[in-house]
């Protein structure tokens, strides 16, 4: 007996906010229950983290913390009575195609697949996703895709306790980058927006949905840190940006797009270095200064 399976794949060329019949209001609590996670909230966006703490990835002798470069996430934003989503899932080489297939079958676009790091001890890929529809159905598709990976479940709530300070001069790093970072998973993190806006169709893509510059410092001792992240740049800014990074000893790992139909067309330049943390912060600002970064 033959069974015919009809695959309904979302057209990759369509706008993220193409007109869709409403199927109920956005319900964040329902999505919370599907993911068994609590989101971070900002700019009307609900962002769920899926860190790959199960992976043991080493670059240049540094064991990578999930908050440095292995932090998958999906952000939901209410849109036209439904939800728009964007995200970046961390997958291994063997997980990539099963995860992609499940997402496509569920009507979620896969807009990019790439690496973040060079010389990693095992191949790790980052799959950008986007979609628009009923929030619970989108969440169920993402959960089904993640079930094909070894992404750990959300940790149980632990009693709050004082954490040891990072072995970094956070004050000088903040001064160099013109803003204050935050500690997450043993990593000092920055999200620095551009001064202009990125939009897909009639939806502005806020920083919390992936349009910001992301800079992470992982302390390695004696004031040093491994840095990773990505800087958002227009096509006209990419050459000066990458030149500034290389002139200051920061490695360019990949240059790519996250979205399919954004305006203006935006490229994301991933970087890596391991050196004195303050020195690297000064160098990163010299590179950011070649772009239209927010200077608030």
Q: What is the pLDDT of residue 51?
A: 96
Task: Pull the structure tokens for residue 48.
Answer: 């769920």
Looking at the structure of the chain, the number of domains it has is: 2
Task: Using DSSP, state whether 262 is helix, strand or coil.
Answer: strand
Residue 91 and residue 179 share a domain: no
Cβ-based neighbour number of residue 150 at 10 Å: 12
Q: What is the pLDDT of residue 163?
A: 56
Please report whether residue 164 resides in a domain: no
Q: Answer for the pair 186, 216: CB distance below 8 angstroms, yes or no.
A: no
What is the spatial distance between Cα 129 and Cα 127, in angstroms, rounded to a whole number?
6
Q: Kindly state the DSSP code that residue 194 receives in the 8-state scheme.
A: B
Domain that holds residue 49: 28-146
Please report whether residue 137 resides in a domain: yes
Q: Answer for the pair 106, 7: CB distance below 8 angstroms, yes or no.
A: no
Residue 33 and residue 136 share a domain: yes
Q: Answer for the pair 287, 233: CB distance below 8 angstroms, yes or no.
A: no
- What pLDDT tens digit does each residue of the chain (296 aa) get? 444 433 444 443 344 433 333 334 567 899 999 999 999 998 889 999 999 999 999 999 999 999 999 999 999 998 878 899 999 999 999 999 999 999 999 999 999 999 999 999 999 999 999 999 999 999 999 999 999 999 999 876 554 455 567 889 999 999 999 999 999 999 999 999 998 888 877 778 877 777 789 999 999 999 999 999 999 999 999 999 999 999 999 999 999 988 888 788 999 999 999 999 999 999 999 999 999 898 76
Residue 179 and residue 106 share a domain: no
Please report whether residue 188 resides in a domain: yes
> Which CATH number is 177's domain given?
3.30.70
Residue 174 and residue 137 share a domain: no
Task: Pull the structure tokens for residue 139.
Answer: 């969440």
Please report whether residue 6 resides in a domain: no
Residue 188 and residue 99 share a domain: no
Instruction: Show which of 146, 162, 191 is a domain's final residue.
Output: 146
**Helix axis angle, 277-288 to 235-247, nearest 10°:** 150
Please report whether residue 266 resides in a domain: yes
Q: Answer for the pair 251, 273: CB distance below 8 angstroms, yes or no.
A: yes
Please report whether residue 246 resides in a domain: yes
- Tell me the pTM: 0.86
Residue 205 and residue 126 share a domain: no
C-alpha 199: how far from its chain's center?
17
Residue 264 and residue 191 share a domain: yes
Task: Using DSSP, state whether 147 is helix, strand or coil.
Answer: coil
Non-local CB neighbours of 142 within 8 Å, separated by 6+ positions: 35, 74, 85, 87, 89, 103, 108, 129
Residue 174 and residue 264 share a domain: yes
Residue 174 and residue 140 share a domain: no
Please report whether residue 165 resides in a domain: no
Please report whether residue 154 resides in a domain: no
What is the spatial distance between Cα 84 and Cα 77, in angstroms, rounded to a whole number?
5
Residue 279 and residue 187 share a domain: yes
Instruction: Show which of 146, 161, 179 is a domain's final residue.
Output: 146
Residue 201 and residue 110 share a domain: no
Q: What is the pLDDT of residue 7?
A: 41
Q: What is the pLDDT of residue 157?
A: 57
Residue 181 and residue 114 share a domain: no
């Amino acid at each position: 007996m033959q069974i015919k399976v009809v695959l309904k794949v979302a057209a990759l060329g369509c706008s993220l906010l193409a007109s869709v019949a409403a199927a109920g209001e956005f319900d964040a609590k329902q999505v919370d229950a599907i993911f068994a996670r609590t989101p971070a909230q900002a700019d009307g966006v609900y962002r769920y983290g899926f860190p790959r703490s199960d992976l043991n990835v080493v670059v240049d002798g540094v064991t990578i913390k999930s908050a440095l470069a292995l932090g998958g996430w999906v952000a939901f934003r209410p849109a036209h009575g439904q939800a728009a989503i964007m995200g970046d899932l961390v997958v291994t080489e063997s997980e990539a195609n099963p995860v992609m297939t499940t997402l496509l079958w569920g009507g979620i676009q896969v807009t990019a697949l790439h690496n973040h790091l060079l010389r990693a001890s095992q191949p790790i890929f980052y799959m950008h996703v986007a979609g628009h529809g009923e929030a619970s159905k989108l969440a169920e598709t993402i959960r089904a895709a993640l079930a094909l990976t070894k992404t750990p479940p959300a940790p149980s709530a632990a009693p709050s306790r004082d954490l040891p300070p990072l072995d970094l001069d956070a004050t000088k790093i903040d001064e160099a980058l013109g803003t204050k970072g935050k500690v997450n998973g043993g990593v000092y993190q920055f999200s620095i927006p551009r001064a202009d806006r990125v939009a897909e169709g009639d939806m502005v893509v806020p920083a919390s949905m992936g349009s910001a510059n992301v800079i992470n410092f992982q302390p390695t001792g004696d004031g040093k840190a491994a840095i990773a992240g990505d800087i958002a740049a227009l096509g006209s800014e990419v050459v000066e940006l990458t030149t500034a990074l290389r002139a200051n000893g920061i490695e360019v790992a990949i240059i790519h797009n996250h979205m399919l139909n954004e305006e203006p067309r935006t490229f994301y330049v991933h970087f890596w270095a391991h050196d004195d943390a303050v020195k690297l912060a000064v160098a990163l600002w010299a590179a950011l200064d070649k772009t239209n970064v927010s200077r608030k």
